[in-house]
Structure 1
Amino acid sequence: MTALPFLAGYPDSLLHQVRSLIDQDRLGPWLRQKYPPDHHAIQSDKALFGYVQALKQQYMKSAPPLSGVSYDSKINLVKHALGLHLSHSRVQGSRLKSKSSIQIASLFREAPAPFLRMIAVHELAHLRHKEHDKAFYQLCCHMEPDYHQLELDLRLYLTQQSLERGQ
């Protein structure tokens, strides 16, 4: 039986469908058909910062400013982290200064553009909601109406990637 670590928590009926696609070698072709391998232009940290800032400006104008957005090759996919929202606080004189930054796994340089948008939306939502609660997911769906489908498809994409690497 194929282990599906990226799909933990999904219903058994869905896991059965995914295993069936894997056994018939149809998961990869299905994903390539739905998300053609088109390399997006957001390859540098500077381009990524501009991309995320544009999303923030469109949907979250009043959210705290971002001090940085970057790709990070050290994010550990084994622990299912695809991006990180970091807050840094420091005392400056008698004031407390805080900065927020976002790091996105470098695998999104090569992933289809909708997956990059999904993870950017996810990390931006953490500016307002620290926990993965109902309000958090409502904000994600406001910024990306297909958020839940993209999240599932991303998990399928990661599963296919791990199968291709033989992990």
Structure 2
Amino acid sequence: MTVLKYLAAYPVHLQDQVRRLIAEERLGEYLEKRYPGRHDVQSDKALYAYTMDLKQQYLRNAPGIDKVLYDSKRDVLRNALGLHTAISRVQGGRLKAKKEIRVAALFREAAPEFLAMVVVHELAHLREFDHNKAFYQLCEHMLPGYHQLEFDLRVYLTWRELPGQDTRAGR
């Protein structure tokens, strides 16, 4: 039985459906059919603008973001797909916090829905620090269908790690 590390927390019947698609070599076809598009958000500057547009639309009163960038060092297994940090520094007699969002570089080539899901997830951390009910309600408010996208993103990551996949092409 294939171990599905990205889907381990999901019910067995969903894991079995993914295993069946893998066995039939149809997982890539499934993903391509559901998520055929590519986004144009390729530079850090474009990612910053994209993120700030979403923030302005849904989280106007949330703290500002100083930096948003693609991070090629983001390891999907050991770290997260994105990272929201607040770096505190002493400047004179004041404490200044810089907020950053880093998105794994693999999302340059992913479907636009997956990029949106990761950015929304990281933006939600501006309001809710923990992954609690309020956090996921905020994610769902900003991106209807968030939970399905999170599941499909995990399926995509599973597909990327299958033997013989050219992950540089994105699909």
TM range (shorter): over 0.9
Distance in 1 (CA, whole Å) between partners of 2:38 and 2:140 is: 24
Distance in 1 (CA, whole Å) between partners of 2:109 and 2:79 is: 18
2:4 aligned residue:
4
CA RMSD, Structure 1 to Structure 2 (Å): 1.2
1:80 Cα deviation (Å)?
Answer: 5.3
Distance in 1 (CA, whole Å) between partners of 2:164 and 2:76 is: 13
- Helix, strand or coil for the counterpart of 2:25? coil
Q: Map 1:147-162 onto structure 2 (within 5 A).
A: 147-162=146-161
Greater shift, 5-14 or 109-118, is seen at 5-14
Distance in 1 (CA, whole Å) between partners of 2:91 and 2:112 is: 39
- Partner letter of residue 140 of structure 1? C
Distance in 2 (CA, whole Å) between partners of 1:8 and 1:100 is: 31
Distance in 2 (CA, whole Å) between partners of 1:99 and 1:112 is: 29
Q: Which runs of 4+ in 1 moved over 6 A?
A: none
Structure 2 runs not aligned, ≥5 long: 166-171
Cα 1:118/1:157, change in 2 over 3 Å: same
- Partner letter of residue 56 of structure 2? Q
- Partner letter of residue 18 of structure 1? V
Confirm or deny: 8 A CA contact 1:67 1:100 kept in the other structure.
yes
1:26 aligned residue:
26
- Helix, strand or coil for the counterpart of 1:78? coil
Distance in 1 (CA, whole Å) between partners of 2:164 and 2:88 is: 39
1:140 aligned residue:
139
Distance in 2 (CA, whole Å) between partners of 1:78 and 1:138 is: 25
Confirm or deny: 8 A CA contact 1:6 1:80 kept in the other structure.
no
Instruction: Provide TM-score, normalisation by structure 1.
Output: 0.95
1:126 aligned residue:
125
* Identical aligned residues as a percent: 57
> CA deviation digits over 1:136-164, x for unaligned, max 9?
10110010011000000000011001104
Distance in 2 (CA, whole Å) between partners of 1:7 and 1:21 is: 14
2:162 aligned residue:
163
Q: Map 1:16-165 onto structure 2 (within 5 A).
A: 16-36=16-36, 38-79=37-78, 81-165=80-164
Distance in 1 (CA, whole Å) between partners of 2:83 and 2:109 is: 18
Structure 1 runs not aligned, ≥5 long: none
2:168 aligned residue:
none
Distance in 2 (CA, whole Å) between partners of 1:40 and 1:28 is: 18
Confirm or deny: 8 A CA contact 1:118 1:151 kept in the other structure.
yes
Distance in 1 (CA, whole Å) between partners of 2:17 and 2:55 is: 36
Aligned residues: 165
